[in-house]
């Protein structure tokens, strides 16, 4: 085929994770006896909780009986799940939304990747640096990122998140049409507190900027004063779309379920001056291109918002939180500066001795057989940092940290 989307030709390869995998493969070939432990994985290690499994079984049985069989479901999700989400995630925290402002999907990656289809070709996008790569790549694939040189796209506004600004992006000096914010953040593990989020909502309202708020890790927030939803900030429902996921909070990385909140107050204007609702545009997009998250998965997800699954899931989250605590303690013992890890499964550490990210990665792999994720893979401002994740088992996390202590102390 001769005619292709040229934007794909300008895309950088998925360098980070393929390069991590390549280096681990070479190491294993050279050290077949080595028992490599990964603190780099973004996938969960604990199984689904019993109440979710029970709901899944029940739904599977329903699919085998003529009177309860379900075929195509509503593209935007079943009412029972949207209602459960509304009650648990929003009404219980004093946020009022309508159930039909919640769109169920097969995960937050699809939603954050697909939503940019609603933006104009010339929309200017602002991203934090470091960043979850899907925001950047999906806009680059759509051809609105410009030219890629030296690790950056010419039409994207980058908002550095560094130790100096506490990993909180500063308000841009040049106005973007859209800004992506992620809290708790992947990769830095830090959060935007109420004041920081309020400043962004006020900026968005004053500048007609849309906020794409990724709350995939909200369940890890331990302090009630930290907002779990951007809609806890007054006026956010006029400027923000929110994305959530059951992947890390309920162990659905393999089952697949997430949701996007698109309030009906969110307005957009076409170039010929027509006013449209982003809600209606997203509904139209989903109805055309998506046939819905499987019924059995939505029943499992519904269970995850109710007791006894809530209590069971809290115990699983506590495992990851305790892993994160262990990682922070180990860094403190070693005199390594570490960030995040409190309201997040990610610890973002400053490499000791000003090592660059890949040298630190190689050192850990060669000397400790431990895998981390080099910070520079998430953006230029990640150079000199590395990400550790709390998703491995407590036993392997403890063993990996012991090795780190032996090598780095
Ligand atoms: N958003 C962020 C910030 C993530 O880190 C991830 C997964 O790693 C996702 C979204 C994707 O979540 P899901 O598994 O629901 O697609």
What confidence tens digit (pLDDT) does each residue in 93-108 have?
Answer: 999 999 999 999 999 9
| C-beta 214 within 6 A of ligand 1 | yes
Q: How would you classify the pairing of strands 210-214 and 148-149?
A: unpaired
Domains of the chain from N-terminus onward: 6-47+310-408 (3.90.1150.10), 53-304 (3.40.640.10)
What digits encode the pLDDT tens for the residues 137-175? 999 999 999 999 888 999 999 999 999 999 999 999 999
Q: CA 57 to CA 368: how far, in whole Å?
A: 42
C-alpha 274 – ligand 1 centre gap (Å): 33
Confidence of residue 2 (pLDDT cuts 50, 70, 90): confident
| C-beta 245 within 6 A of ligand 1 | yes
Q: Of all protein residues, whose CA lies closest to atom 11 belonging to ligand 1?
A: 109
3-state secondary structure 114-162: HHHHHCCCCCCEEEEECCCHHHHHHHHHCCCCCCEECCEECCEEEEECC
Nearest ligand 1 atom, CA 253 = 14
| C-beta 132 within 6 A of ligand 1 | yes
C-alpha 406 – ligand 1 centre gap (Å): 33
| C-beta 44 within 6 A of ligand 1 | no
What digits encode the pLDDT tens for the residues 244-285? 999 999 999 999 999 999 999 999 988 899 999 999 999 999
pLDDT for 41 beyond 90: no
Question: How confident is the model at residue 207, as a pLDDT?
Answer: 97
Question: Which range is least confidently modeled, 34-43, 229-238, 368-377?
Answer: 34-43
* CA-based R_g, the chain, Å: 22
| C-beta 212 within 6 A of ligand 1 | no
Whether the CB-CB separation of 298 and 74 falls below 8 Å is answered with no
Question: How confident is the model at residue 388, as a pLDDT?
Answer: 98
| C-beta 114 within 6 A of ligand 1 | no
């Amino acid at each position: 085929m001769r005619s292709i989307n040229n934007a794909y030709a300008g895309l950088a390869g998925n360098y980070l994770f393929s390069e991590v995998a390549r280096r681990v493969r070479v190491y294993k070939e050279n050290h077949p006896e080595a028992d490599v432990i990964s603190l780099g994985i973004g996938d969960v290690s604990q199984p689904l909780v019993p109440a979710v499994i029970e709901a899944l079984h029940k739904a599977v049985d329903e699919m085998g009986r003529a009177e309860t069989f379900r075929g195509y479901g509503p593209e935007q999700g079943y009412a029972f799940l949207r209602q459960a989400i509304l009650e648990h995630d929003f009404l219980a925290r004093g946020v009022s939304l309508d159930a039909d402002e919640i769109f169920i999907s097969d995960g937050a990656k699809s939603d954050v990747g697909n939503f940019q289809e609603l933006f104009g070709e010339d929309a200017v996008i602002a991203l934090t640096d470091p960043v979850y790569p899907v925001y950047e790549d999906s806009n680059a694939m759509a051809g609105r990122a410009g030219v890629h040189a030296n690790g950056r796209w010419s039409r994207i506004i980058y908002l550095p998140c560094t130790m100096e600004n506490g990993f909180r992006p500063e308000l841009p000096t040049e106005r973007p049409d859209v800004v992506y914010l992620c809290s708790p953040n992947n990769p830095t593990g830090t959060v935007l507190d109420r004041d920081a989020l309020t400043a962004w909502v006020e900026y968005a309202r004053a500048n007609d900027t849309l906020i794409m708020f990724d709350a995939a890790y909200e369940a890890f927030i331990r302090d009630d004063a930290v907002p779990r939803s951007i809609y806890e900030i007054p006026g956010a429902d006029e400027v923000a779309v929110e994305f959530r996921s059951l992947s890390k909070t309920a162990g659905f990385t393999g089952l697949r379920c997430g949701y996007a909140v698109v309030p009906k107050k969110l307005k957009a204007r076409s170039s010929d001056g027509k006013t449209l609702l982003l809600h209606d545009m997203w509904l139209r997009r989903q109805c055309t291109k998506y046939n819905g998250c499987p019924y059995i998965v939505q029943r499992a997800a519904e269970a995850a918002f109710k007791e006894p699954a809530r209590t069971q899931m809290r115990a699983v989250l506590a495992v990851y939180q305790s892993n994160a605590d262990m990682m922070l303690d180990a860094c403190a013992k070693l005199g390594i500066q570490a960030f995040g890890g409190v309201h997040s499964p990610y610890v973002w550490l400053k490499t000791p001795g000003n090592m660059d990210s890949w040298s630190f990665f190689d050192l850990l792999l060669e000397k400790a057989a431990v895998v981390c994720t080099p910070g520079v893979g998430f953006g230029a401002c990640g150079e000199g940092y590395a990400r550790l994740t709390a998703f491995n088992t407590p036993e392997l996390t403890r063993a990996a940290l012991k090795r780190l202590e032996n090598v780095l102390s």
